Amino acid sequence: MTRLPGQGDLLPTGHVVARVLLAILVILLLVAALVLAYLLRSDELAFAERISDTFRSWLVP
Amino acid sequence: MSNFLIYLGIVAWGVACWLGLAFVTVPLALFAISAGLVYGAALTVGGYLQVYWGTEDGRILIRPDAESPRRPSAPYPHWDDAWPSYLSGQVERDIMAAAAWPLRQAHGLWAQGIDMAMSNGLILLALLPLAPAPFVFLVGVSAGTYGGWAALAAAIEAVTAISRGARLSAIGVLRAADSVARWWHGAAVTCPACRYVAWLPGYQCDQDENDTGEDDTSKCDTIHHDLRPGRLGVWIHRCRCGKALPTTIRRAGRALTPVCSNCDGPLYEQAGLAPDARIALSGGRGVGKTLLLMRAATELTSRSRLAPWEPGDDRTAAWLRHARQLLRQWPRFGPEPTEEPALLTFRRNVCGRQCYLYTADLDGRHFGSDKDNPALWQLGVTRRHLLVLDATVVPRVRDRIGLGASGATPRPAWTETSVATAERPYRLLVAQLGRLGARPHKCSLALVVTKADILARHGAGPDGLGLRAWLRSVELHNLVMAAEHDFGRVRYFLVGKGQENPAEPFEWLLSQYPHGAARP
């Protein structure tokens, strides 16, 4: 049994190990999403620019 | 003039709004929604990490619950008092709880935004081109929260699905290995005290409560009825007290004390793995069941045998001493009629493995009535049945015994009644097996004709004729036909003082079903 920091409950070690692994997975996924967004930033900017231009063309003939 | 200025102001405000919408609103909204999505995703990650840190445990943790019901087909109605493994539902609870905190934050932002919009309507109107940005930011936060939560939930479920597949395979392999070993040895779990034949042995947790940090030094003593790999763990089950209990009967039997699931009494070592045979004695009153059992037990425990049985407990040892004493005095003093069932346990060691034999001597009066009798419940838990038949109550035999003296012809009515009396224990045995859900065709029946010495003395025995043919010749053909129809295997034995080996029916029954299920 393992005590989680800040908690009174004793948890089975298997629970704690599983949660630590899943927390690492969550952080890795967040990092992966940020890296992906960084890699795609030029496409995203181009996409945003296209939307702005389209909208502007409606308002400013 | 003032009207003109107002009109000019409105036009200027309209132009500013138009320019703002054209050049500011869209880029700002795109930036705001991106920022909202990132913020919502960050909130979700925070929510997951909080749950994994344990901040929600007081609310969401699946704790040991000995009252939690199991499915109807499970061997026990409730789960053991042990921690469910993480993959048994806790992972889903964690995922659900991970949504709570970020959604609270997002809803809080919405509430703040609506409050600000309501209280600053004029400012909002004046800065109309800027108004969509906070709105789309909030939309982005909500979308990021829900989307991030769902994406992470899907990722976690995908990862745990792999673990669950591996766990399921491991459970199947371990359970199969355990079951095959038990099937091969014909093992069962019979309580020597209450005679309850359990599906699985229970095991008592022997953890000192002191180890858990409490002051008293008492043992945990929680009984775990089902230590097979499963929902509560594959390789170990975690008792409520925290002790790791090995799963599978083979491993648990080495580390823990096996106990009866019915009366909590201790079982013998290797319970659930050792060959375990039960022989049920049936027969009417005064047919010689007790005498047969005493003589057979004396023979089975004789030191002159190759692998003698020995009493498995003090009660059986005392009964055996009494039986030997009575047999030395017999026929001057014979056994008293059985009132309380004598529950006897014998054991022997064959090639380093303990084997157990249980038998019960039931009162013959239980076989005198066709009513459902709870006292006969032990008949339903064994595949080995021994029916004792007193041949001297059969009319034709009685006639031959009596003809030597009187030469009278028996009356037909008396004959029918007596045949029915002889057959009644058998009918009752089969009916009782049916009531108890046992299948006779999965059982063996040793049909033992007692008092062979009396038959031989009067020349009324089978002599050169086979016992089966002799039974048919004395109007017990219905009994023979019914027994051979109902039971999977039937064999006939003739025993009496100085005649045949009284242990032979027991040895034959013990040789049946060396492998396979222990219950019919």
Q: How many residues does chain A have?
A: 61
Instruction: Output the DSSP codes for B125-165.
Output: HHTGGGTHHHHHHHHHHHHHHHHHHHHHHHHHHHHHHHHHH
**B45 contacts A14? CB cut-off 8 A:** no
C-beta separation of B508 from B495 below 8 A = no
Please report residues of A whose CB lies closer than 8 A to that of B61: 9, 11
- How far apart, in whole angstroms, are the C-alpha atoms of residue B68 and residue B373? 34
C-beta separation of B152 from B102 below 8 A = no
CA distance, residue A23 to nearest chain B CA (Å): 6
Residue with tokens 């399921």, as numbered in its chain = B168
- CB half-sphere exposure, B125, CA atoms < 13 A: 6
- How far apart, in whole angstroms, are the C-alpha atoms of residue B108 and residue B100? 12
What is the reported pLDDT for B413? 44
CA distances, A8 to each of A2, A26, A55, B54, B207 (Å): 10, 25, 57, 10, 21
Each of the 520 residues of chain B gets a pLDDT tens digit; together they read 678 888 888 887 777 777 777 777 788 888 888 889 989 999 999 999 999 988 888 888 888 888 888 888 888 888 988 999 999 889 999 999 999 999 999 999 999 988 988 888 777 777 777 778 889 999 999 999 999 999 999 999 999 999 999 999 999 999 999 988 888 888 888 888 887 888 788 998 888 766 555 555 677 888 898 899 998 999 999 998 888 999 998 898 888 889 988 888 888 877 888 888 888 888 888 788 888 888 888 888 888 777 888 898 888 898 888 888 888 877 666 666 655 666 788 988 887 788 888 888 777 777 777 677 777 777 778 888 999 988 777 777 777 776 543 444 444 444 445 777 788 888 888 888 888 888 888 889 999 988 887 777 777 777 767 888 888 888 888 888 998 998 989 999 988 766 678 888 988 998 888 777 766 6
CA distance, residue A15 to nearest chain B CA (Å): 5
For residue range A3-18, what is the model confidence (pLDDT) as tens digits?
A: 655 555 678 888 888 9
What is the reported pLDDT for B148? 92
**A22 contacts B238? CB cut-off 8 A:** no
Name the 3-class secondary structure at B377.
helix
* Chain A residue closest in CA terms to B33: A48
- Kindly report the three-state secondary structure assignment for every residue of B447-478: EEEECHHHHHHCCCCCCCCCHHHHHHHHHHHH
C-beta separation of B93 from B62 below 8 A = yes
Nearest to B27 among A15, A25, A52 (CB): A52
- How far apart, in whole angstroms, are the C-alpha atoms of residue A38 and residue A59? 32
* Chain B residue closest in CA terms to A30: B45
Please report residues of A whose CB lies closer than 8 A to that of B235: none
Tell me whether residue B144 is exposed, middle or buried, using C-beta atoms within 10 angstroms of its C-beta: 0 to 12, 13 to 18, 19 or more.
buried
Please report residues of A whose CB lies closer than 8 A to that of B54: 4-7, 9, 11, 19
Nearest to A26 among B48, B55, B242 (CB): B48
Please report residues of B whose CB lies closer than 8 A to that of A3: none
**A60 contacts B22? CB cut-off 8 A:** yes
Please report residues of A whose CB lies closer than 8 A to that of B91: 18, 22
C-beta separation of B192 from B312 below 8 A = yes
| Crossing angle of helices B132-185 and A13-39, rounded to 10° | 140
Tell me whether residue B115 is exposed, middle or buried, using C-beta atoms within 10 angstroms of its C-beta: 0 to 12, 13 to 18, 19 or more.
exposed
> What are the tokens at B310?
């020995």
Chain A contact probe: residue of B24, B44, B48 with most A CBs at under 10 A: B48
Determine the distance from the C-alpha atom of residue B88 to the mean position of all C-alpha atoms in its chain, rounded to a whole number: 20
**B45 contacts A30? CB cut-off 8 A:** yes
* Chain A residue closest in CA terms to B95: A22
| Crossing angle of helices B477-486 and B412-435, rounded to 10° | 10
